[in-house]
Structure 1
Amino acid sequence: MGKDAQVRARFAEGEDVGRLQYEAPRLLFRGAARRVFQGDDLRGVRAEAGDLVLADGSRFTLGEKAAASWVDAILNPRSRLDKLGVKPGMRVAVVNVADELAARDAAPVTDLADLDLLFYAADSLADLDRIPALIPALADKGALWIVSRKGKAAALKDVEVMAAARAHGLVDSKVVGVSDTLTALRFTRRRS
C-alpha cells in the first residue's frame, strides 16, 4: 500500500489541485491533467519548505513531516517481501507459490509447523477447502497469506477467499499486490 494525499501542485506551466499517489515505482498526480512520474523523474526528489520537490521543479505541498516521509518512501521503496511482512529469522513456508516469496533471509521450511508466515496459492474453491488443514501449521501469532490470480485471469473473487477463511475463524487484515498478476490476502487467528 502506497501513499495518498490531496495536494496543491505547482508546475512550470501553473498551479493545480488534485490527488497525489505513490505506489513504487511511480508517483501519480490526478488534477486537471493526469501526470505520471517515475524513473529519472524521481531522482533527486527532496523535501523543501513542506513541499515534495521533483528534479524538474514540480512541487506538491504536503507539509514538513509528510514531505519528508514521502521523500523517504520514494528514495527507499519497500520491497514486496517487506510489504508481506517477511523478516530475517522468520519461519516461512511457501505452498504452490513461486519461491520468490521465500527469497529473503527468512528461514524457509519444508515442515509445516510453528510457522510465522505461510503463503498458499489458491485458484479454485477446492483449493480453499484446504484452509482448515493449514491453520494448525501456524504459530500462535502466525499469518496465512492466500495468494490468487487477480484481474480478468482471477478464478476466485476476494470475497470468496475471505468467506472461506472467515468460516474457519480467521480474520483478514491486509491485501498486497504480489505481482501484476497475483494478489495476496493476509489472515490471522481471531483474538478472543
Structure 2
Amino acid sequence: MTSKAVLGVILAAASAVSAQAAYEINIVEDRGNVVAFGSGSLDTRGLTYNTSLISYSNIHAGSGSIAIGSCACFDHYFGASAVPFGVMGRGAGSFESFGPLVGIDSYGLMVPLWYVSGTEIGLSIATFRNTSFGTLGIVRGTYVVRWGSGDNADTLTIIAGSNRAIPIPPVPEPSAWALMIAAFGIVGAMMRKRYEGERRTHS
C-alpha cells in the first residue's frame, strides 16, 4: 500500500470518528440530591465560535440549559439550541462539581476552554444539593440536541432518569490543580487586556 493510500485510510477513519462524536449527560436522583454527569466528545465544526466565558454548574430544565463540571472558563459556540427536558421549575447551581465544564444553553454549546473538536472529554459531574426532579421541573426521558450536517453533524443527549450508576471522580493530582490555576490566570489576564483595550477605544 502506498503512503498516499495509507494517509487516505487514516483521514477517512478520523472523519468517521468526528462524524460519530457524541456527548451524553445523565441526570439521576440520589439521596435527596440531583446528580448530573457526562462524558464523550463533541464535533464543533458545524458551529460558530462566539466567545470565552466563565461559569459554574447549573440546571434549568424548562429552558433546556445545563452545565456540568467545575467552575471554569469555557468556549461558547452558536449553532446548537437547547431542548427543554422538563417544565419551568426552579433552577439550581452547584459548586460541588468535578471535571471540565460542558453544557448547553439557550444560545449555544459550552465546551472546555481551547477544546479541540472531536477529542474525548473526560468525566464531568455536578451535584445539586437538596433538590429533586419535582422541584427542578425535570421530566424523565431522553432529549437530543442536534447540530451540523453531513460529516459535521453531532449530538448532545440528555437522559433524565438514567439507569447508569453515578461515577466516582478521581482525586486531582497537584499538577492538575496547578495547571488549572495557571489557566485561570491566563484567561483572566486576556479578559482584562481586552476590557482595557475596549475602554481606551470608547474614551
Normalised-by-shorter TM-score class: under 0.3
Q: Say which structure, 1 or 2, has more relative contact order (CA 8 Å, 6+ apart).
A: 2
